[in-house]
A = this chain, B = another copy of it.
């Protein structure tokens, strides 16, 4: 039991964690290139090699409407609500590479996670200066440099890596973190 009055802090990633970018990639790829692929086909590939048409993912991320229409990851809303009772939850997104995404991401958060305060939202370039107790992220580049405890959220591009605690879905994230509160 945590007897401190100050809540522990979690940095939660957006793309691939709160938002199902993989589903959007697959659906936009089919729409634009006429090729229907599945999540299983992407497994173990990188973002650069996942789709036959090189550069497709980067083009999608630079297209207006990509970030504002992302589907919410299954169980994410309930999980963040639940975690917010015991932790101070910060949403930390590496948004600066795609300037269009800033307002789309903020709108998306306000629509799908209206209970998250603007005080708890961070849009950054890299995440190396983020200092929280926990980080939930799908990208090694963010997790590897983090000083606190890490949870690697399952994504097609991270299935071969095992040096962070893996969560396959939001239920597993909550189960892991509730032991720490």
A: which residues have CB within 8 A of B? Answer: 9, 11, 90, 96-97, 99, 102-103, 106, 117-126, 129-132
Which of B122, B124, B126, B132 interacts with A125 by CB under 8 Å?
B122
Closest to A109 in B: B96
Docked pose: A99 CA to B129 CA in angstroms: 23
Decide if B122 touches A129 in the complex (CB within 8 Å).
yes
13 A–B contacts, CB within 8 A, in A order: A11-B129, A99-B103, A99-B106, A99-B118, A119-B125, A120-B125, A121-B125, A122-B122, A122-B123, A122-B124, A122-B125, A129-B132, A130-B130
Closest to A99 in B: B106
- Shortest Cβ distance from residue A77 to the other chain B in the assembled complex, whole angstroms: 20
